[in-house]
Amino acid sequence: MALATDKWWDANTVAVVTGSNKGIGFEAARMLAEQGLTVVVTSRDVEAGKTAVAKIKEAAAPGARVLLHQLDIANAASVDAFVAWLKQETGGLTVLVNNAGFAYKGNIFGADEAQTTMAINFAGTRNLTEKLVPLLQGPCPRIVNVSSRAGLRSIIKSKELLGRLTAATSPDQLAAMADEFIAGIRDGTYGKQGWPGSMYGTSKLLVSLWTAQLAAQLKERHVMVNAMCPGWCRTDMSSQSGNKSAAEGADTAVWLALRSPQDFVTGGFWGERSNISW
Ligand SMILES: NC(=O)c1ccc[n+]([C@@H]2O[C@H](COP(=O)([O-])OP(=O)(O)OC[C@H]3O[C@@H](n4cnc5c(N)ncnc54)[C@H](OP(=O)(O)O)[C@@H]3O)[C@@H](O)[C@H]2O)c1
């Protein structure tokens, strides 16, 4: 892949990729190892992670380390154990690719399912990130949030609701709105309130809105924080349908992760290496 001409990283630059045992996360981890960074593969299931690490090591540039640790982003104890291990093992990180994500298949829809979707895609990603921010290293660290065009602002059908969502200035406010969505599903009023019938799309909208908040918060520390959509990719999430390979989907995430510090961009939403108006 064609990347920044000024190679600012080396084998001591640590990149963490969540959900990297398969799919887009696996490809992102493989590409980062190929570029010579130390890559931390994380997997809910350690055995699945070991298989991925063996393949990523084959592709890794000489000197690049490929490490593995268990991580379930929706499990607070797992997140805490991971963060403690990372601090001990590498001292910190420069790149965080928040790739782990979940979507129910088919027509499954309900308040409990929305809660689970939010707990992984939004709350889990947020919790892990907030615990890793103090460990960010280097002059220009990066956070790449793998979001989705399924969560564009246009999925919200009420101007008032969209206004409140975009006016939110803290992740706690977004979390409270996630709870409103779930309560609306539970009592059947979500549609009337302007929420869409997509649990996944709503969770990703919150990820994108939170990305903008985090970018503003970390700008002074010179952290690049961006959201991206990989496109429709052939992975387990899409039941292997889709018009892109997982590697093609990972391309923009890796491009953002390795962008030159001179090209500082933050708070954007990207797809196919281009800024998307969302
Ligand atoms: N595929 C697409 O067309 C598409 C389009 C737009 C956005 N995305 C986004 O791209 C990202 C990667 O998806 P993918 O297509 O590669 O799907 P995938 O093949 O299903 O991979 C999802 C990854 O996330 C992990 N994961 C799920 N829940 C987790 C949790 N609680 N804690 C930690 N890891 C967890 C999975 O682990 P397990 O193996 O243990 O389940 C797996 O490693 C997701 O954020 C997804 O929403 C995908």
Atom 1 (ligand 1) nearest CA? 233
pLDDT confidence of residue 218:
98
User: CA distances (Å), 242 to each of 25, 151, 235, 246, 252, in order?
Assistant: 16, 17, 8, 9, 17
In 3-state terms, what secondary structure has residue 6? coil
User: Residue 235 Cα, ligand 1 centroid: separation in angstroms?
Assistant: 8
How many whole angstroms from 46 Cα to the centroid of ligand 1? 16
pLDDT, mean over the chain: 97
CA atoms within 13 A of residue 222's CA, in its CB half-sphere: 10
Exposed/middle/buried for residue 167 (C-beta within 10 Å: 0-12, 13-18, 19+): exposed
Q: Residue 5 pLDDT more than 90?
A: no
Say whether pLDDT at 4 is over 80. Answer: no
Report pLDDT for 6: 82
pLDDT of residue 1: 63
- CB-CB neighbours of 181 under 10 Å: 24
Q: Return the pLDDT at 2.
A: 62
Domains and CATH numbers, the chain: 14-152+210-271 (3.40.50.720)
Catalytic residue among 200, 210, 270, 278: 200
Whether the pLDDT of residue 187 is over 90: the answer is: yes
Exposed, middle or buried, 1 (CB in 10 Å: 0-12/13-18/19+)? Answer: exposed
Burial of 272 (0-12, 13-18, 19+ CB in 10 A): middle
Q: What percent of the chain has pLDDT over 90?
A: 97
Per-residue pLDDT band for 110 (boundaries 50, 70, 90) equals: very high
d(CA 142, CA 144): 6
Percent of the chain with pLDDT over 70: 98
The tens digit of pLDDT for each residue in 196-255 reads: 999 999 999 999 999 999 999 999 999 999 999 999 999 999 999 999 999 999 999 999
Q: At residue 183, does pLDDT exceed 70?
A: yes
Protein residue with its CA nearest to atom 24 in ligand 1? 100
The average pLDDT across 117-134 equals: 98
Q: What is the mean pLDDT of residues 34-56?
A: 98
> From the alpha carbon of 120, which atom of ligand 1 is closest?
31
pLDDT for residue 78: 98
Residues contacting ligand 1 via CB (< 6 Å) = 18-19, 21-25, 44-45, 48, 71-74, 99-102, 120, 124, 146, 148, 229-230, 232-233, 235-238, 242, 246
Q: Which residues contact 176 (CB under 8 A, 6 or more apart)?
A: none
Whether residue 146 is predicted with pLDDT greater than 90 in this model: the reply is: yes
For residue 19, the ligand 1 atom closest to its alpha carbon is 43
3-state percent helix, strand, coil for the chain, nearest multiple of 5? 50, 15, 35
Mean pLDDT value across residues 76-99: 98
Quick check: 121 pLDDT over 60? yes
104 carries an active-site annotation: no
- For residue 276, what pLDDT band results from cuts at 50, 70 and 90? very high
Q: Are 238 and 105 in contact (CB under 8 A)?
A: no
Q: Is the pLDDT of residue 52 over 90?
A: yes
Measured in whole angstroms, the distance separating CA 64 from the mean position of its chain's CA atoms is 23
Across the range 128-156, mean pLDDT stands at 98
pLDDT over 70 at 40, yes or no: yes
Minimal-distance CA residue to ligand 1 atom 26: 100
